[in-house]
A and B are shown apart, each in its own frame.
Chain A
Amino acid sequence: MTGFLSELALLFHIARRNLFTTFINFIIGLIILVGTCGQVAGSSLLSTLTSSMSKSVIGSAAGHLQVYNDASEDELAIYGQMGGQDPSLEPITDFPEVKKQLAADPNVKNIVPQGIGGGLITSGNTVDITLAKLRDLYRARDEKTPSTEGKRLTAEGYAEQIASVKEHIRQIVKVIHADAAKADALRDAKTVDPSEQEHLVTAASDAFWADFDKHPYDSLEFLENYIAPQAGDADMLYLRYLGTDLEAFQKAFDRMYLKEGQMVPTGKRGLLLPTYYYEENLKLKCARKLDKIKEQLANSRRTIATDEELKRWLKENQQQTREIVLQLDGIKTKTATTALQGFLKSDEKDLNGLLAKFFDMNDQNFHERYDFFYAQIVPLLELYRVRVGDTMTFKAYTKGGSVQAVNVRVYGTFEFKGLEQSPLAGAMALMDLMSFRDLYGYMSKDKLNEIQALKAAAPSKGLNRETAEDELFGQGGSVVNESVTSTIDEKQELSGTTAKKRGATLDENTYSQADFEAGVVLNVAVLLKNEHDLEATQARLSKMSTPNTHFRVVTWQKAAGVLGDFVYYARVGLSSAMSIIFVIAMIVISVAMIMATIARTATIGTMRAIGAQRTFIISMVLAETSALALFFGSLGAAIGSALILFIGNKGIPATTPEQYFFFAGPRFLPVLEPMHVISAFFIILAISALSTVLPAIIATRVSPLRAMQTDE
């Protein structure tokens, strides 16, 4: 035994001595070092990414397990499928029963009914808002009632206000007209609708405005019907919503808190907007960009002078002054112009020009201008296109393929603690289940009968996806358009103006617990007491499904669909990158060891002649690669670990929305686990052992005769 140990010691002594004698060993070492370092860092980054993603997914929507109808055509995908569309799920019709069954498991903490969908929101564009304001002023003047803003004015007061708003609208019409002329020049003449063009010419004419007050309501209607739709497309936004029992949701997902407004009252229809989406999509674009620049300047080392993205944002602000100018009426335009002239010490008269000059910012003047913007310009503007208390119109495809529109009141904005910056957690609005069911197109028997009756009364064009699409995308402003369609069919019944009116009444509706329980849900989030028992609980719950409830239970990762896939692909990506490195390492180590063996044939031959068995020679080659792997592997693992610990200590600040998405927060803080180091180590040892096979075989073939040959 002592002999064996000393032999081993000798082997390692030889290996250690050989380690630094050849340059090629240094190359091998470097590859091993990079490989282990990459494996340690990569696996810990990936597992941190997975866990931060799981934090987002579990904490903001999915819960630990998701339950849905086993008869569903597609698999549940909370964040949508690969192409962006929602999976086709068979609804759960008896949620109370499913809940009862699930609640029987001791590890189940919360059960939250859900339904997820996506729809377009029309938030009323600037034209709509301004026209509504003017209509309101005329109405208040003529009916002698206070305006919606609660003001009662003198005759001169009304005249002045009306003149100012009219001037504002005229300005808007001019802008739209100019834009349309530019667009027409680019487009094929055939695709231009000549009537649209005519309407614009009419609205821009001096005659139209001269006669405006003769029949103000007709003039307003003309603008609402023919001009507003032409400005509308940019104001259609896609928003995903999660219909749920909002109280149960808040209880189960306890990171959720309200940022603004209030919780939707029990039994009321209503919507909560995620702050992230609210800021990103509903805030005035130039203000949002200024916010983002400010944040970048504070949190990272980026400067306007050196960063292309920040420069681009400022450039965009300079070019997109229209969204500000359109919002300002005559009085406010004057206020803004004077303020900017004073601030910039410029005698430029045009507000567009002044704003362009103002947004031409640099690192020195950014903060001063930012503060000025919020103090002087913002008070003149609507900073958000939707405010708490407003009613939003959602349009979505029902399951049948028709378009459904529902009006929902925005009660507040919310976010999840620790996930404030996560676009993932901040992408989905929360909605009451009843509104969700309307959008989803679930119909009670009564409603179905009603539509059948309507269909019988008027010949229907029938429904197909294309016409529905037209309805959704073709006429962006159709919500406020007093439609000229004369036939009654279910399409019209469910969308457009009629739907809006129905939605408006729905908004006021309260619903009872019985209504709530009678309807469908699409999926059920289950939160567990002990999340480490995930798979076992999943198995137990799966067994609970009866022919009558017939549900399927999946983990959050599976339910996350594309995102779960993303984690999967990231893992596949990392392992294939690592595999490539390791295959290269294997080839290089093999080749290098073969070369080293060939260079050492005299020594090997001598050892064989002296009496070393073949096994000893194999051990010698093995010891050498092992020593190489141990030494450089340890070094690589140490560097990788140090890297992760260093990054974990400081964090990588997220600088783009994509990074917020992947980091699930403003900073990425990777965590090192011993498993990452140990597994990397074992992998590299295995690789080294494998790459020793060929050189070892070659080494054993060296004849002891080689010792006798003198090196000429």
Chain B
Amino acid sequence: MDTIVSIRDVVKEYSLGKVVVPALRGVNLEVKKGEFISIAGPSGSGKTTLLNLIGCVDTATRGLVSVTGQDTAQLSESALTRLRLNTIGFIFQSFNLVSVLTVYQNVEFPLLLQRKLNGAQRKERVTQLLTQVGLLDHAKHRPNELSGGQRQRVAIARALVADPQIVLADEPTANLDSATGAAIIDLMKELNHTKGTTFIFSTHDHRVMQHAQSVVRLADGLISGRETAAQAVAHSLGVEQAKAS
């Protein structure tokens, strides 16, 4: 399988005044096309930081971040923006829908930015995506008229409408109850199956983790291991039990 994301010896440091906070301290990671992987780790371990680097919304302090074969450090600001628009889809923890736009308009938004499809083609595509997430009859609604789960499904439709190669999701279920969260992960998994889109999502919820093909474990800015979902669940359950006892 082709490598779609390649991270090598990546260091990310935030400087807070004179203090330098290391968020990632030499991370190496390869993600293959069509993978459905989860990044797990305790709070402050660097999950979000890693996803931001892959998503080209931030740049590494040192090391190589390559997305679809392009070294992101070499790209201009507008080239990075184009890369985000055409190659990457984002699903956010707080859904991040544009509140003044309808469900339909929110989903159509990336297509308008792409300027590739005409009105009829856009309509077909948006309708298709809304059907897939089961919200076609809510097309004219505003985000604030929807439940959290519905909002996140709109966000998924938006992330996938431009047919990206990679979808990044930072704790997509954190703001949802567990049943709804599970449904969202199911939906993502289904889309991963049908379209072969690469999914990278972060979570510290082991019930979410178990749906992943593999789990990358982050601790203190370093990758401590890459496990199968079952191993990961066992691992985190073990941690929980250890804590409990």
Q: Answer yes or no: are A and B bound together in one complex.
A: yes
Query: Residues of A at under 8 Å CB distance from B?
Result: 2-4, 6-7, 10, 13-14, 17-18, 21, 602-603, 606-614, 616, 703-705, 707-708, 710-711
| Complex CA–CA separation, A508 to B240 (angstroms) | 129
Q: Does B220 contact A (CB under 8 A)?
A: no
Contact check, B81 vs A611: say whether CB atoms are below 8 A apart. Answer: yes
> 5 shortest A-B CB distances, which residue pairs?
A611-B85, A3-B115, A17-B100, A704-B57, A606-B96
| Alpha-carbon distance between A708 and B23 when the two chains are bound, in angstroms | 15
| CB contact under 8 A between A10 and B116, given known A603-B99, A610-B84, A704-B57 | no
- Residue of A whose beta carbon sits closest to that of B115: A3
B90 touches which of A10, A602, A609 (Cβ 8 Å): A609
Contact between chains at B100 and A710 (CB < 8 Å): no
- Report chain B residues within 8 Å CB of A609: 55, 57, 84, 90
Inter-chain contacts of B85 with A (CB < 8 A): 610-612
CA–CA, A4 and B118, complex, Å: 10
Asked whether A610 lies within 8 Å of B115 as measured between CB atoms, the reply is no
Distance in Å: Cβ of A505 to nearest Cβ of chain B: 93
Q: Are A711 and B94 in contact (CB under 8 A)?
A: yes
| B116 A3 Cβ-Cβ under 8 A | yes
Kindly list 20 other residue pairs between chains A and B, CB separation below 8 angstroms, not including A6-B122, A609-B57, A612-B81.
A2-B119, A3-B112, A3-B117, A3-B118, A7-B112, A14-B100, A21-B100, A602-B96, A609-B84, A610-B158, A611-B84, A611-B85, A611-B110, A612-B113, A613-B82, A616-B113, A704-B57, A707-B96, A708-B48, A708-B57
Contact with A along B76-92 (1 / 0, CB 8 A): 01100110111000101
B55 surroundings in chain A (CB, below 8 A): 609
Instruction: Name which residue of chain A comes closest to B117, CB basis.
Output: A3
The distance in angstroms between the C-alpha atoms of A21 and B118, with both chains bound, is 31
CA of A703 to CA of B55, assembled, Å? 13
* B interface with A by C-beta (< 8 Å): 48, 51-52, 55, 57-58, 77-78, 81-82, 84-86, 90, 92-94, 96, 98-101, 105, 109-110, 112-119, 122, 158, 162, 170
Are B86 and A611 touching (Cβ within 8 A)?
yes
Give Cα distance in the complex from A606 to B58, angstroms: 14
Chain A interface main SS type: helix
- What separation, in Å, do the CA atoms of A612 and B90 have in the docked complex? 13
Residues in chain B near residue A2, CB distance under 8 A: 118-119
Q: Which residue of A lies closest to B90 (CB)?
A: A609
Provide the bound-state CA to CA distance between A21 and B117, in Å.
Answer: 31
Which residue of the partner chain B has the closest CB to A704?
B57
Nearest neighbor of A615 in chain B, beta-carbon distance: B78
The smallest beta-carbon distance between A25 and chain B, in angstroms, is 13
Chain B residue with the shortest CB-CB distance to A4? B115
State A14–B57 Cα separation when bound (angstroms). 24
Q: Which residues of B contact A707 (CB under 8 A)?
A: 57, 90, 92, 96
CA of A707 to CA of B101 in the docked complex: distance in angstroms?
17
Q: Which residues of B contact A607 (CB under 8 A)?
A: 98, 109
Determine if B112 and A705 form an interchain contact, defined as CB atoms under 8 angstroms apart.
Answer: no
Q: Knowing A609-B55, A612-B113, A710-B94 touch, does A6 contact B84 (C-beta < 8 A)?
A: no
CB pair A710 B93 closer than 8 Å: yes
Closest to B93 in A: A710
Contacts of B122 in A (CB 8 A): 6
Residues of chain A within 8 A (CB-CB) of B101 are 13-14, 17
**Chain B residues with CB below 8 A from A611, complex form:** 81-82, 84-86, 110, 113-114, 162
Distance of A536 from chain B, by nearest CB (Å) = 53
**A711 — which chain B residues lie within 8 A by C-beta?**
94
Q: Which residues of B contact A3 (CB under 8 A)?
A: 112, 114-118
Please measure, in the bound complex, the distance between the C-alpha atom of A712 and the C-alpha atom of B57, giving whole angstroms.
Answer: 21
CB distance from A667 to the nearest CB of B (A): 50
A14 to B98, CA, bound (A): 9
What are 27 A-B pairs with beta-carbon distances under 8 A?
A3-B116, A4-B115, A6-B112, A6-B119, A10-B109, A13-B100, A13-B101, A14-B100, A14-B101, A603-B96, A606-B92, A609-B84, A609-B90, A610-B84, A610-B85, A610-B110, A610-B113, A611-B82, A611-B114, A612-B81, A612-B113, A613-B82, A707-B92, A708-B52, A708-B92, A708-B170, A710-B94
Within the complex, the shortest CB–CB distance from A130 to chain B, in Å, comes to: 89
Given known A-B contacts A3-B115, A7-B115, A611-B85, A606 and B98 have beta carbons under 8 A apart: yes
Shortest distance between the CB of A6 and any CB in chain B (Å): 6
**In the complex with contacts A603-B98, A708-B57, A610-B112 CB distance below 8 A:** no
Which chain A residues lie closer than 8 Å to B81 at the CB level?
608, 611-614, 704
Minimum CB–CB distance for B226 against chain A, Å: 24
CA distance A612 to B96 in the complex (A): 14
Chain B residues contacting A606 (CB-CB under 8 Å) are 92, 96, 98
* Nearest residue, chain A, Cβ from B99: A603
Most B CB contacts (10 A, CB to CB) among A18, A703, A707, A711 go to A707
What is the bound-complex CA distance between A610 and B94, given in angstroms?
14
